[in-house]
């Protein structure tokens, strides 16, 4: 008998954002800002029939983070068990807080020596194993948007590099990164009752979302 090759199923790009927040925190930036972008991106790209799965995850915050009940980990585990082909996973993590004030952006040492001190950009972040995806995504964003952006592929022990739903997919062997306003490294309202809608910069959120639409088109292609 002659071997017959069957075309493998199309690879899926997963885009996710968690919708839970910590008790006592309204969660406007963490993480309603990213969920809003997720919903908008799904609507913008719906008619293009791209192989993209948009997912809103539960249980990202403690006590579930990095545990078996974390929503993104359950999703990634199911994809692994089903043998699904996932080309990449992008975790949208806090997209709404920006400032042009000098010194408004902080970093774990020694990153402050290499990155700007104003919190006016969006960041593409991953561990060293996700270097290719971080770089490709960041460069795609710069092709489709003039909005300031930075990228980092660094060791997982750097604080913040693994702190989102992309960790689940990386843990299960999928390429995955985080796209973020850098959370507690800039937002003084992080995990506080003051994380309210009036603290968000909606014009810049819209610019970031439009740029991300271009990124998703490139990655899905």
pLDDT of residue 9: 64
pLDDT band of residue 11 (cuts 50, 70, 90) is very high
Q: What percentage of the chain has pLDDT greater than the value 70?
A: 96
Would you place residue 6 in the very low, low, confident or very high pLDDT band (cuts 50, 70, 90)? very low
Whether 143 and 216 have beta carbons less than 8 Å apart is answered as: no
Average pLDDT estimate for 162-171: 97
Q: Could you tell me the CA-to-CA distances from 170 to 49, 76, 159, 184, 191 in Å, in that order?
A: 26, 9, 16, 22, 25
d(C-alpha 204, C-alpha 202), whole Å: 5
Spatial CA neighbour of 179 closest among 197, 152, 155, 198: 152
| Predicted confidence (pLDDT) at residue 17 exceeds the cutoff of 60 | yes
Region 169-187 average pLDDT = 97
Looking at residue 213, the DSSP 8-state letter turns out to be H
Strand ranges, E, within the chain: 12-18, 52-57, 86-93, 122-127, 149-154, 176-180
Q: What's the pLDDT score for residue 2?
A: 45
| Number of residues written out for the chain | 221
Other CB atoms within 10 A of residue 91 CB: 30
CA distance 39 to 182: 21
* Domains observed in the chain: 12-220 (3.40.630.10)
What would the pLDDT profile of 115-150 be if each residue is shown by its tens digit?
Answer: 999 999 999 999 999 999 999 999 999 999 999 999
pLDDT band at 76 (very low <50, low <70, confident <90, very high): very high
- For 78-112, the pLDDT digits (tens) are 999 999 999 999 999 999 999 999 999 999 999 99
> What is the mean pLDDT of the segment spanning 202-214?
98
Residue 167 has pLDDT above 50, yes or no: yes
- Concatenated DSSP letters for 9-61? PPPEEEEEEE----TT---IIIIIIHHHHHHHHHHHHGGGT-SEEEEEES--S
Closest CA to 182 of 208, 206, 217: 208
């Amino acid at each position: 008998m002659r071997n017959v090759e069957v075309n493998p199923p199309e690879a899926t790009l997963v885009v996710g954002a968690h919708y839970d927040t910590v008790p006592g925190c309204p969660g406007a930036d963490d993480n309603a800002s990213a969920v809003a972008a997720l919903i908008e991106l799904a609507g913008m790209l719906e008619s293009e029939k791209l192989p993209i799965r948009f997912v809103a995850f539960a249980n990202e915050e403690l006590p579930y983070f990095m545990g078996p009940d974390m929503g993104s980990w359950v999703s990634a585990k199911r994809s692994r068990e089903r043998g699904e082909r996932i080309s990449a996973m992008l975790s949208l993590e806090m997209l709404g807080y920006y400032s042009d004030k000098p010194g408004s952006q902080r970093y774990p040492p020694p990153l402050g020596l290499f990155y700007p001190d104003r919190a006016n950009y969006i960041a593409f972040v991953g561990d060293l194993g996700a270097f290719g995806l971080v770089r490709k995504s960041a460069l795609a964003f710069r092709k489709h948007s003039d909005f300031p952006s930075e990228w980092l592929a660094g060791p997982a022990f750097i604080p913040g590099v693994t702190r989102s739903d992309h960790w689940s997919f990386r843990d299960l062997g999928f390429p995955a990164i985080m796209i973020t306003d850098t959370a507690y490294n800039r937002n003084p309202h992080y995990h506080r009752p003051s994380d309210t809608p009036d603290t968000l910069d909606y014009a810049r959120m819209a610019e970031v979302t439009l740029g991300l639409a271009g990124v998703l088109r490139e990655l899905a292609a």
